[in-house]
């Protein structure tokens, strides 16, 4: 049995519900990957080096001194 709780006027009550399962197995073959499809492109492997953008250090340091985490400060400076 599957127990489920409901609230009736803010009072929790348990409902006893019979769980019904399908007898035949579920076919998931339509969700299986089949390689690249028309219009799709392969994602980059991520092996290339990441180059950090050149940000003004004085502005980033000023934000860090104000209590903002360094990564958040860099993100803010980059997006403004």
Tens of pLDDT, residue by residue over 3-35, are 678 888 888 888 887 877 778 888 899 888 888
Tens of pLDDT, residue by residue over 47-60, are 777 788 899 999 99
CB-CB neighbours of 17 under 10 Å: 10
Token pair 């049995």 is found at: 1
Average pLDDT over every residue of 64-69:
96
What the block records as the tokens of 34 is 């089949």
Cα 4 from Cα 9, distance rounded (Å): 16
Cα 2 from Cα 80, distance rounded (Å): 53
pTM of the complete model = 0.41
């Amino acid at each position: 049995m599957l127990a489920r709780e409901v609230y009736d006027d803010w009072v929790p009550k348990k409902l006893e519900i019979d769980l019904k399962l399908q007898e035949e197995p579920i076919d998931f073959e339509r969700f299986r990957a089949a390689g690249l499809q028309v219009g799709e492109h392969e994602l980059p492997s991520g092996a290339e080096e990441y180059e950090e953008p050149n940000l003004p250090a004085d502005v980033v340091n000023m934000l860090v001194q104000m209590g903002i985490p360094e990564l958040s400060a860099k993100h803010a400076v980059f997006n403004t």
